[in-house]
């Protein structure tokens, strides 16, 4: 049975055009840190040399990289490297929804605020504001 995060990831991945994977994106631990340095005009997809599917999303500073943690979608874990730091660890359905809204142009500050308030329950308003600022600096929201 497919997880909701993986289903959303695959729907996004299937709708994008493909770029060639660059081996130098690997960091040696299975993550793709160097891909965050890619400057892009639009979201694109790739398949790495381990047969993992991934998506590059443009930010003001580089890219956010969303990809399958294991080969051929095994375990359906979706993870992220991001510049600036928008997401951490394996991605939840709501995080994938934020990414989907970013790609289809419907992401608003209200979506991000709701996501952050849910994720960081009990955090100060100042903390949430700083996290919202990260999304603004990335160029994901106005």
Alpha helices in the chain (DSSP H): 4-15, 93-104, 109-119, 125-137
pLDDT of residue 85: 78
Query: pLDDT grade, residue 10 (50/70/90)?
Result: very high
Q: What is the pLDDT of residues 59-86, one digit of tens each?
A: 988 899 999 998 876 778 899 888 667 8
Strand arrangement, sheet containing 53-58? 44-47, 53-58, 63-68, 78-81
CA distances from 138 to 14, 57, 59, 63, 83 (A): 24, 10, 5, 9, 8
pLDDT of residue 1: 39
Distance CA 77, CA 58 (A): 22
């Amino acid at each position: 049975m497919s997880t909701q995060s993986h289903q959303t990831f695959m729907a996004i991945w299937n709708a994008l055009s493909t770029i060639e994977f660059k081996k130098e994106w690997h960091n040696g631990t299975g993550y793709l840190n160097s891909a965050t340095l890619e400057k892009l005009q639009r979201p694109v997809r790739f398949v790495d040399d381990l047969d993992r599917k991934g998506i590059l999303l443009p930010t003001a500073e580089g890219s956010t990289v969303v990809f399958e943690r294991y080969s051929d979608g095994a375990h359906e874990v979706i993870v992220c490297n991001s510049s600036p730091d928008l997401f951490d660890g394996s991605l939840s359905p709501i995080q994938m929804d934020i990414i989907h809204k970013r790609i289809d142009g419907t992401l608003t500050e209200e979506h991000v605020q709701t996501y952050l308030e849910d994720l960081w329950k009990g955090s100060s308003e100042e903390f949430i504001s700083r996290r919202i600022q990260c999304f603004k600096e990335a160029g994901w929201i106005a």
